[in-house]
Structure 1
Amino acid sequence: MWRRDCKMANRIRNRDSGPGQLLLLLILLLTGAFDSDAAQPPAASQQYRNDLIRNARLDWGLNAPVADFAAQLHQESGWNPRAVSPVGAQGLAQFMPSTSEWISQLMPELQANQPFSPAWSIRALTKYNRWIWQRVNAADDCQRMAMTLSGYNGGLGWVQRDKKLAAQRGLDSQRWFGHVAAVNAGRSKANWRENRHYPQRILLELAPRYLTWGGRSCAEPA
């Protein structure tokens, strides 16, 4: 395992030796993201696997980051289609009622507005992620997906404000880890901490266990 980790470390280091990328490497190593013995997908997820792969590829193409989206659903609801959060988020993808209503109006194929329907939730998640992705720029797919997930969790407007503030402070607005993630454009401390934890847990802790479902945005072991 150590030899494989060193090889992966060299790949990341050669691509970019900046502080943000080195921080990403450290997180990957500490969370065991390169460990082939990482936990496997829970049994509850298996019934949704094919539907997620199909929908992800419809919106993102054959190389869709399916593992990222599976990890996101894992984080959101633990694969429970009847989940309701303390603040009222609903279903597999944990959309707030106002967000699911907005999405149902924005995207005609989702006009049914059924957050407790697994099929609707999965379709809405892949399409909404794509909608955010198309509105953020980043240095690479890993950084861009982190920004996309931050937008899913807290709103695209906050991502844009954080990117602007990062640039004003001399940080790289095209990089999430160690740069945009380090600033707060005005959120409460609790909301800011939750938002920063969200993409890190999904991309670096949970996505590796879903690699057999499809690719992921951040570095994979060779």
Structure 2
Amino acid sequence: MQKSALGIALPFIFVFGLILSLLLVIGGGAGANACTPSSGNGNNQNASAPAAAPVTNIGDRGDTIKTYLPELQEASRISGFPISLIAATIHQESGWDPNIVSGVGAQGLAQFMPGTWASFGNGGDPFNPHDAIPAMGRYMAYLKTTLRNAGVDGDEIDNVLRAYNAGPGAVMRRTGGYNTDENNNYAPAIKSHWQQYQTLIKDLGIDDYPTGAEKPSLSNVAANKATPESTSSTSASAQAEKKSAKKASDKDQCKDNKNQKSSNAENQNSGNTDNSGDDYPWKNMAHCDAAYTSCPSTPDPTNALPRECVAFAAWRVVQQTGGNADNITFHSPGNAAEWRGYWIAQGWEIGDKPVIGAVVYYNSGVGGASSYGHVAIVKEIRDDGTIVEEGYNGDYAPNDHQYYTRVVPVDRPSAYLYIPSH
């Protein structure tokens, strides 16, 4: 019996479809995972995929290194890490693709989330490698300083790389994105690229450590903490939000002074009744509840969740740097405990003497602050060795997430962060 044309064609269609399906599965793996995000701990992170970079021959990257050598040298001087490590991290993040965008919106060669870029991009374009590479150096400097301040033990390069992937808070607390297979594999993946980039840099006759770059410690760094007075004119960085940043990086930013018991001697405004200085513009936006069981997904224009300590402090910095509610000149860099690291990375002044308008900085566990720290603003300096600080969210419920003022000894805060002149 003669078969119809359809009967003859069907087997071929089936076989062709099967082959096409296999090709799509095989070919789609790298593309699907080219920039797979991981969810971090809601702390302004860069959460990068361990297989972020497409497969490339690193030996062919010589021209790329030469093209961006000034920017790589700048990133190295800022961060203290070698050019080869910066290059290996870029390789892991994007495969040197300046136009790549992850599924959650991380942008460009260094995979910055928009909120992080606002803090550390210095007004540049995340899709422009000439802007993104120095920003990566600033961010890595910020991570290094923040982790040193927190006394995080272990290999400093591993710590910084893991923080680049999961955020500094996750690394400090060993929580969130830190506990994923992705994060466990992230630093080893970059180090495997790093060895090849070290060889490439050497073959190109380039100094892997430009003049002024501080070589990082490879072991315990707890004894190498930055002091409140330490600053770095060459350090300028921070990006802490990358792939999960917009998950309200500030969610835990100010679970801060909930353990700080107010007393009549130290807290002139225990009931938060004095709102004469409360000009925070976004106080009517939704905010977290006292237990942080429910938080809004929308930050205020400073990239902080409304009515957190970092939100009010960021607003004061905006005002003092020539901005206003319609012109945001400063964005919160993350949890309160991370502000000093950001200041140091930017090369801004830090000290132990109060100045009107300066940020009052409490490191984790200082002055009753939780592991997330606390920030406020110097409102008044008194002759009796005390200051009046103003801020938000420095008291227990039902007075949480409200404006407060209180009197504290000058030496109680960990440091004073001086706002740069504009």
* TM-score calculated relative to the size of structure 2: 0.32
What are the equivalent positions in structure 2 for 1:139-218 lying under 5 Å apart? 143-162=155-174, 185-187=175-177, 192-203=180-191, 205-211=192-198, 212-213=200-201, 214=208
Q: Which amino acid aligns with 1:56?
A: A
Q: Secondary structure at the match of 2:127?
A: coil
**Contact 2:76–2:137 (Cα < 8 Å) also in 1:** no
Cα offset, 1:101, TM superposition? 1.5
Q: Secondary structure at the match of 2:104?
A: coil
Cα offset, 1:51, TM superposition? 2.5
- Which whole-Å deviations, capped at 9, do the CAs of 1:149-203 have from their partners, x for residues lacking one? 11111111001001xxxxxxxxxxxxxxxxxxxxxx24497xx222222111112
Structure 2 alignment gaps of length 5 or more:
1-56, 202-207, 210-214, 219-422
Q: Which amino acid aligns with 1:126?
A: G
Cα offset, 1:83, TM superposition? 1.0
Q: Residues 89 and 188 of structure 1: is their aligned pair in 2 closer, same or farther, counting only changes over 3 Å?
A: same
**Contact 1:77–1:91 (Cα < 8 Å) also in 2:** yes
**Contact 2:125–2:132 (Cα < 8 Å) also in 1:** yes
Aligned to 2:253: none
Cα offset, 1:103, TM superposition? 1.9
Across the two proteins, how many residue pairs are aligned to each other?
Answer: 147
Q: Tell me which protein shows more strand as a share of its residues.
A: 2
Are 1:45 and 2:64 counterparts?
yes
Cα offset, 1:45, TM superposition? 2.8
* TM-score calculated relative to the size of structure 1: 0.57
Q: Residues 125 and 58 of structure 1: is their aligned pair in 2 closer, same or farther, counting only changes over 3 Å?
A: same
Cα offset, 1:44, TM superposition? 6.5
Task: Identify the range of structure 1 (80-89 vs 47-56) with the bigger mean alpha-carbon deviation.
Answer: 47-56
Are 1:83 and 2:100 counterparts?
yes
- Which whole-Å deviations, capped at 9, do the CAs of 1:100-135 have from their partners, x for residues lacking one? 11224xxxxx1x141011111001001110111112
State the alpha-carbon separation in 2 of the partners of residues 80 and 66 from structure 1. Answer: 18
Q: Secondary structure at the match of 1:114?
A: coil
Aligned to 2:142: 131
State the alpha-carbon separation in 2 of the partners of residues 198 and 48 from structure 1. Answer: 26
Q: Secondary structure at the match of 1:134?
A: helix
What is the percentage of aligned positions where both structures have the same residue? Answer: 31
Cα offset, 1:54, TM superposition? 2.1
State the alpha-carbon separation in 1 of the partners of residues 186 and 72 from structure 2. Answer: 22
**Contact 1:81–1:91 (Cα < 8 Å) also in 2:** yes
Aligned to 1:175: none
Q: Tell me which protein shows more helix as a share of its residues.
A: 1
Q: Secondary structure at the match of 1:80?
A: coil
Q: Which amino acid aligns with 2:131?
A: W
4+ residue segments displaced more than 6 Å = 216-219
Q: Secondary structure at the match of 1:136?
A: helix
